[in-house]
Amino acid sequence: MIIGEIRRFLRDSSNPIRVSRSLKDTAYKAIYAKENLTKKNLREPTIMEISEEIGISKEDIVYALDAIQNPMSLYEPVYTEGGDTLYVMDQISDKKCREENWVENISLSEAMKRLDERENEIITLRFFEGKTQMEVAEYIGISQAQVSRLEKNALHTMKKYLMF
């Protein structure tokens, strides 16, 4: 009995996040069904097929499988090349933080109002629409060198406004 309790404790508390026994059971049923269906059909089964096999909704299966995953640190390296490391947190967008950048957006909008019409168009095309200097030059009908000069002046004007 004591050994059984120790095994139960180790089994239930091996994950750093506490997951209910019923969720674990659902996940293990889904994993077992997936293995059986893969052997039987010689292909990876869909969530719907697994759901039909074990009689549990596909939403509950997905939820249970997600619940038993081990958590990953935001500082987990994903890719390293020549000393530059890419971490998990570098690949996650922060929608909340984006929404709170309204002050910066207003400041940027005000700085763009300081530009003349052509400079404003160049900055919009270059930085908001992602066009190259060559594409902007072709679109406006001037040379790439002129686009470069106008862009540089526009950025200088905006920087000067934003610094004060």
What is the CATH number assigned to the segment(s) 17-67?
Answer: 1.10.10.10
Give the model's confidence band at 164: pLDDT under 50 very low, under 70 low, under 90 confident, else very high.
low
Bigger pLDDT: 101 vs 157: 157
Give the model's confidence band at 72: pLDDT under 50 very low, under 70 low, under 90 confident, else very high: confident
pLDDT value at residue 157: 92
Question: 23-55 pLDDT, tens per residue?
Answer: 889 999 999 999 999 999 999 999 999 999 999
Write down the pTM of the prediction: 0.43
Residue-wise pLDDT tens digits, 93-135: 666 555 566 777 788 888 999 999 999 999 999 988 888 999 9
CA distances from residue 13 to 56, 86, 137 in whole angstroms, order as listed: 25, 31, 63
Whole-number Å distance between alpha carbons of 47 and 54: 11
Q: What is the mean pLDDT of residues 135-159?
A: 92
Better-predicted residue by pLDDT, 69 or 51: 51
Given a contact cutoff of 8 angstroms between Cβ atoms, the answer to whether 51 and 61 are in contact is yes
In the predicted structure, residue 159 carries a pLDDT above the cut 80: yes
With pLDDT > 90 as the criterion, what percentage of the chain qualifies? 49
Q: Which helix (H) or strand (E) holds 161?
A: helix 144-163
CATH assignment of 96-163? 1.10.10.10
- Asked if domains 17-67 and 96-163 share a fold, the reply is yes
Percent of the chain with pLDDT over 70: 90
Task: Kindly state the average pLDDT of the residues 4-29.
Answer: 80
Distance CA(24)–CA(69), nearest Å, equals 10
- Sequence spans of domains, the chain: 17-67, 96-163
Longest Cα–Cα distance in the chain:
85
Predicted local distance difference test score (pLDDT) of residue 86:
79
16 phi, psi to nearest 5 deg: -60, -20
